[in-house]
Chains A and B, each alone.
Chain A
Amino acid sequence: MSIVTVQLGQCGNQIGHEVFSALCSDIRGTHGLCSKKENESYHDSCKERFFCEQESGVPIARAVLVDMEPKVISQTLSMAARSGHWKYNSHSHFCQKQGSGNNWANGYSVHGPRHKEAIMNLVQKEAEKCDRLGGFFTIMSMAGGTGSGLGAFVTQCLRDAFPTSFILNHVIWPYGTGEVIVQNYNSVLTLSHLYQSSDALLVHENDVIHKICAQLMNIKQISFRDVNEIIAHQLGSVFQPTHTAGEGSGYSRNPLGDLMETLVPHPEFKLLGLRNIPQMPENSLAYSTFSWPGLIKHLRQMLIANAKMEEGIDWQVRPPPPGSSIPSTNKPLHFNTSIANLVILRGKDVHDVDLGSFQDPSLYTSWLNPQDAFSAWKTPRAFNKYEKSAALVSNSQFLLKPLDSIVGKAWNMFASKAYLHQYTKFGIQEEDFLDCFTTLEQVISSYTNL
C-alpha cells in the first residue's frame, strides 16, 4: 500500500526532502544484516510505499509539494534531482509568489479556498498512481502561515475528498523562545482544526531535537538541516517496512492503518510522541555495541519519565504500585501515563527480545486492557546503519506540558488582544479563537485526567 506525502510550507518541504533522502539511502545501504531475500522484500516494500518507478529507473517520490512562495520548492526540487538517487515528479508541486506572512488566517481563509482545486488535483493525481492508497502523510510546522493555516485547510479537504483514507499529520512544534512571534496563535488555531479532520498528529518539537543534536550528536553549530536529518531518521524508523503480525509474515501492507489501530483507540486522544534509541553521530557507530535489554530498559524509562532522549533520564520516576487504583490526582509526580504504545524494533536478534516490561498495566490508563494497549513490530532488517534500533510511538502524556504551555502563552496574548487585527482582516474572528481555545482546553483536560 502506498502513502502519499503532502509537504506544506518551508518547514514541510525542507523536512520532506530529508525524509525521502533518508528512506532512499537506507534501502540503498548495505544488506542490513539480514538475508538477501529479506532485504529485497524490504527494498520492494519501501519502494512501493513511498516511491513510484519510472522508466529511467530513478525512483520518484510519491509527494505533493505546496508552498505559497517559490524559493523553497525550487531549492527542494533541485536538491533531490542532484542526488541522482531519487527525485520528485516535476509536476507535483504548487506554489504562489507571495507567501502567507506567518498569518494562519491568510493561509486558511485566503490561500486555502483560492487554491483548493489546484492542490487537490495534484493530490488526486498522486493518489491515482497508487495501486492501493494507504493514506496521507502531511508534513507541516504550526508556527508559520502556510504549513499551519493552509495545512489545516488542506487536511480538511483531504478528509472531505477521501473520507475512508487514513490521514496522519506530522506537526513540528516551534522552539519555545520564538521563531515567530505569533507562533502560539498559529499553533492553537492549527491544532484545534487538525483535531477535527486528522486521524492522528505525530509531533516533533524543535527544542527536543535541538538538544539531541547538541548532546547526543555533538554538533557544534546546529543548523536546521541537522535538525531535519534527525527528524527524518526518527520518521524513517517508524515508516520503513516492518512485520506487524509476527515472525514469518510479510511486511505490513497497511502501515498507516496499523498505526492508527494500535495507537488511537479514542478520537479524543490523537497526540503521538516519538522517541528513538540509540542516536549517535555516524562516525561513532562503528565503536558502539548495544544490547537489547539495555535499550529496552532505557526506552521504557524514557516513556515513564517523559525523557526526551537517552541522556539525562530521571531514573527516580516509578509507576504507581500495582493493584491499587489511585485517582489521577494522586499519581506520582512526573509519571507519564499512556493510553497506548507501539515499539518498533529493527536489527539483529529482534525476535528474541523480551518486551514484557512494556506490558505492565501500571503504565497505562485503566480503561484499556494492557494487551490491547501495547503492540510491538519487529523486523530483522537493520535501519540506517544502526545494528539495533528501537522506536517508541506513544499516545501518552508526553505532549501535555508543551501543549499546556503553548495554550497558556496564546491565551495570555489573546487577553491583551495583541495582533488580533492581523487575523480579523482575513476573516478569523475572536469567536473563532475562543472555539479553538475551548477545543484545546478540552484536550488538555482529557490527557491530564488519564
Chain B
Amino acid sequence: MTQSVVVQVGQCGNQVGCRFWDLALREHAAVNKKGIYDEALSSFFRNVDTRSGGNGPDICKGKICSLKARALLIDMEEGVVNEILQGPLRDVFDSKQLITDVSGSGNNWAVGHKMYGFQYRENIVEKLRKTAEHCDCLQCFFIIHSMGGGTGSGLGTFVLNLLEEEFPEVYRFVTSVYPSGEDDVITSPYNSVLAMKELNEHADCVLPIENESLFEIVNKIHQMINSGKLGSTVKQNSLVTSSAGSAKTLQEKPFDAMNNIIANLLLNLTSSARFEGSLNMDLNEISMNLVPFPRLHYLVSSLTPLYTLADVNVPSRRLDQMFSDAFSRDHQLIQADPKHSLYLACALLVRGNVQVSDLRRNIERLKPSLHFVSWNQEGWKTGLCSVPPVGHSHSLLALANNTCVKPTFVELKDRFMKLYKKKAHLHHYLQIDGMEQSCFSEAISSLSDLIEEYDELDATKGGPRIDPSRLKIAV
C-alpha cells in the first residue's frame, strides 16, 4: 500500500485541504469500525504515540493512537492556518508541518514564487523530506491551490517545481482552482498564466476546478432540498457539499460547501488505491491511461451523485442515471461540455455495489453520443471499488482528458493579453528579484502552444477515419 502527501498552499488551498482532512477522517471512521490502524488509513495518516510527545517512531499496526495527517500546510499569512489549528482538526496536524509568514503575497505570483520561494526553499525541502521519511512507499503528492492569487499560485507552483527536483519518481497531482471571469483580483490572469507554465512543465496530472461550476452545483442542491418536490428527505451526510460532524450550518463558512465538493473529488480519486475492489485503479494507472502526450494532462472531473435520497433501495434505473449525469454539463467541475468536444481518454471510477455488467451496459449506452479521437475509439479506463462513500450506496467519478478544457485556457489567454498589452500592473511583478519580462512572454507562449495542441486534435474530430495500413508480412 502506498502513501500520499497533501501539500496545501495559500488561502484557497488550505481551506479546501481542511475540508479534505475532515471528510477523510469521516470516511475512514465509517469504514474502520474496529479502530485498528490499517493500510487504508496509512495512505493519508500516520499513527503516532502522543505520550512521547509525538517524537517517537510511528506506530504501524495495532490500535489507533493519534492520527496525524500526511500534509504540509503552507501560507504566507497566518489567518487561515491559525483558524485550522484552533478548530476541531488541530490535533491532526503538528507544528512541524506548517510554514507560515505574516504579510501574504499581495495577489502577486512573483512574490509567491520568486521571493518567498527563494526565502523558504530550504525550510520547505526539509519539511518535505521529513514527511517523506515517515512514508513506507510514497507514491503521490497532491497539491491543492488556486491559480488566481499570489501564494497558492506562485509559491504553490514553486513547490511543484521543487517536488520534481527532489522527488522525481513520485507522482504530482495538482488540484487547481481557476479564477472566474468576474474574479475580484485584477491580476488573476497574470498569476494564472504564469502558474500554467509551471503546471504544463512539472505536473503529472492537473484537475482544473472552476468556482462557477461549484457554485452552480451548490445552488442546484439547495433548490432541490428547498423545493420539497420529491417528497422524500435527503440524507444529510450524503450531500457532496456537506461537512463531516454535525450539520452546524451556522458555523459553516461560505466556501465550505463548495470546498467539500473538491474534497470529495480527492477522496473518490484515491478510493480504489486505499480500499479493495474487483478491479483496482491506482493513481499511477490514472496517469498512465489518461495522459497520451506529456503536456496534455488536464483532466475534467465530474462527480455523481450529488446527494442520495433517504429511501434506501435504489433500482437499477437510478444507477444508469448516475452514469448519464456524469456526462452532463451540470456535474462537471469546470465550465465545459465534454460531450460536444473530443475525448482523448476517459476514466470511470465506480464505488459501491456496482458490478462489471452495470459498467459495461452504461459504456455501451453512452458511447455513441461521445466523440473519441480516432486512435483511441475505445479509450475507457475503468475501476471498481467495493467501498462506497459515506451516505451513498454507490458513486461515480469520471475523469476525462477532453479538448473541452481549451475554451478555459483561451479565455485565460485573452484576459491576460488585455492586461499585458497595456502593461497594466506589470511593475508590481518586475520589481521582484528574479522576475523579468521574459517570464511573461515564456508563460504566454507555453499557454499558446498548449492551446495549439488541443486545436490540432480538435481538427481531427469528425473527419474521415483513415486507419494506417498494417505491416505486410512476406508469406
Contacts and interface: CB of A to CB of B under 8 A. Distances in A.
A50 B355 CA distance: 31
Contacts of B382: 178-179
Given A97-B136, A449-B475, A176 B378 contact: yes
Interface in A96-111: 97-103
Of B290, B381, B384, B472, most A-chain CB atoms within 10 Å: B381
B471 interface: yes
Given A101-B288, A449-B475, A179 B381 contact: yes
Given A182-B289, A409-B378, A411-B468, A210 B284 contact: no
A442 B278 contact: no
Contact of B280 (A72, A181, A437): A72
B473 A441 contact: yes
Contacts of A102: 284-285, 288-289, 381
A349 interface: no
Given A408-B467, A412-B375, A418-B375, A101 B276 contact: no
Interface in A263-293: none
Contact of B290 (A98, A177, A181, A409): A181
Contacts of B381: 102, 178-181
Contact of B355 (A178, A223, A411, A412): A223
B284 A419 contact: no
B1 interface: yes
Nearest to A220: B357
A441 B357 contact: no
Contacts of A449: 475
A70 B1 contact: yes
B327 to A, nearest CB: 16
A421 B289 contact: no
A72 B281 CA distance: 12
A214 interface: yes
B105 to A, nearest CB: 34
A443 to B, nearest CB: 9
B282 A101 contact: yes
A340 B291 CA distance: 43
Given A179-B381, A223-B356, A97 B1 contact: yes
Contacts of B291: 419, 422
B470 A441 contact: yes
Of A178, A219, A221, A438, most B-chain CB atoms within 10 Å: A178
Contacts of B345: 181
A220 to B, nearest CB: 8
Interface in A383-416: 407-409, 411-413, 415-416
Contacts of B316: 221
B323 to A, nearest CB: 14
Contacts of A214: 357
Nearest to A181: B289
A390 B136 CA distance: 51
A418 B136 contact: no
Interface string B254-296: 0000000000000000000000101110101101111111100
A224 interface: yes
Contacts of B384: 224
B379 interface: yes
Given A223-B357, A411-B468, A419-B292, A179 B279 contact: yes
Contact of B2 (A98, A145, A210): A98
Interface in A145-194: 145, 175-182
Interface in A218-245: 219-225, 227
A178 B467 contact: no
Given A179-B381, A180-B289, A418-B292, A69 B1 contact: yes
Nearest to A425: B294
A71 B287 CA distance: 20
B376 to A, nearest CB: 6
A421 B293 contact: yes
Contacts of A225: 278
B280 A221 contact: no
A214 B294 CA distance: 40
B293 A210 contact: no
Contact of A98 (B139, B280, B293, B356): B139
Interface string B453-474: 0000000000000011011110
A441 B471 contact: yes
B418 interface: no
B276 A71 contact: yes
Interface stretch (B44-52, B109-117, B358-366, B437-445): B358-366
Of A70, A145, A181, A409, most B-chain CB atoms within 10 Å: A181
A418 B376 contact: yes
A409 B377 CA distance: 9
A213 B360 CA distance: 13
A218 to B, nearest CB: 12
B375 to A, nearest CB: 4
Contact of B380 (A178, A222, A409): A178
Interface in B285-310: 285, 287-294
B278 A224 contact: yes
Contact of A177 (B292, B360, B375): B360
B376 A98 contact: no
B379 A227 contact: no
A181 B276 CA distance: 21
Contact of A227 (B280, B288, B356, B378): B356
Contacts of B2: 69, 97-99
B39 interface: yes
A101 B290 CA distance: 12
A177 B293 CA distance: 21
Interface string A44-78: 00000000000000000000000001111001000
A46 B379 CA distance: 43
A421 B357 contact: no
Contacts of B279: 10, 179, 224
B367 interface: yes
Interface string A196-222: 000000000000001001100001111
A178 B378 contact: yes
B467 A103 contact: no
A294 to B, nearest CB: 30
A445 interface: yes
Given A10-B280, A422-B291, A438-B473, A177 B357 contact: no
B185 interface: no
A145 B287 CA distance: 13
B280 to A, nearest CB: 6
A138 interface: no
Interface string A435-447: 0011001100100
Contacts of B378: 176-178, 409
Interface of A: 10, 14, 69-72, 75, 97-103, 145, 175-182, 210, 213-214, 219-225, 227, 407-409, 411-413, 415-419, 421-422, 437-438, 441-442, 445, 449
Given A75-B276, A101-B287, A223-B355, 18 more contacts: A14-B278, A69-B282, A72-B276, A100-B284, A101-B285, A102-B288, A177-B360, A177-B367, A179-B381, A181-B376, A181-B380, A222-B357, A223-B278, A409-B377, A418-B375, A421-B293, A437-B471, A445-B475
20 contacts: A10-B279, A69-B2, A98-B2, A101-B282, A102-B289, A177-B360, A177-B363, A180-B285, A180-B381, A181-B290, A181-B345, A182-B288, A221-B358, A222-B357, A223-B278, A413-B376, A415-B375, A418-B376, A419-B291, A441-B471
Among all A-B residue pairs, the 9 with the closest Cβ atoms: A101-B284, A178-B380, A222-B357, A97-B137, A418-B292, A415-B468, A223-B355, A416-B375, A224-B278
